[in-house]
């Protein structure tokens, strides 16, 4: 389960929480409104339970971005966030 980033809208850094029902490999990507991948992070194998990451988008243009979390290369969730 992927949760909404906090705060949203945000300046430079934001936190994103997610819950895993089983241990799996996690990847995290951010896309701009045109669908171009602008940020990626391989989080490796993570255990069952609640997890939280903080990302820093300093230097990125203000606007709408979408983040995608994948578990074991399967779609897990996508959410919209606003960088101000």
- Domain regions of the chain by residue span: 13-83
Q: Which CATH architecture has domain 13-83?
A: Sandwich (2.60)
Quickly tell me which residue has 């609640």 as its tokens. 50
- Helical H runs in the chain? none
Q: For 17-62, how does the pLDDT look when each residue is reduced to its tens digit (9 = 90+)?
A: 999 999 999 999 999 999 999 999 999 999 999 999 999 999 999 9
pLDDT of residue 83: 98
- With a threshold of 0.85, does the pTM exceed it? yes
């Amino acid at each position: 389960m992927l949760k909404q980033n906090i705060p949203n809208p945000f300046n430079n850094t934001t936190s994103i929480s997610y819950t895993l029902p089983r241990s799996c490999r996690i990847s995290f990507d951010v896309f701009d409104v045109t669908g171009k991948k602008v940020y990626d992070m391989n989080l490796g194998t993570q255990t069952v339970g609640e997890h939280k990451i903080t990302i820093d988008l300093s230097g990125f243009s203000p606007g709408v971005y979408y983040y995608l979390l994948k578990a074991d290369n399967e779609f897990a969730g996508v959410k919209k966030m606003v960088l101000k």
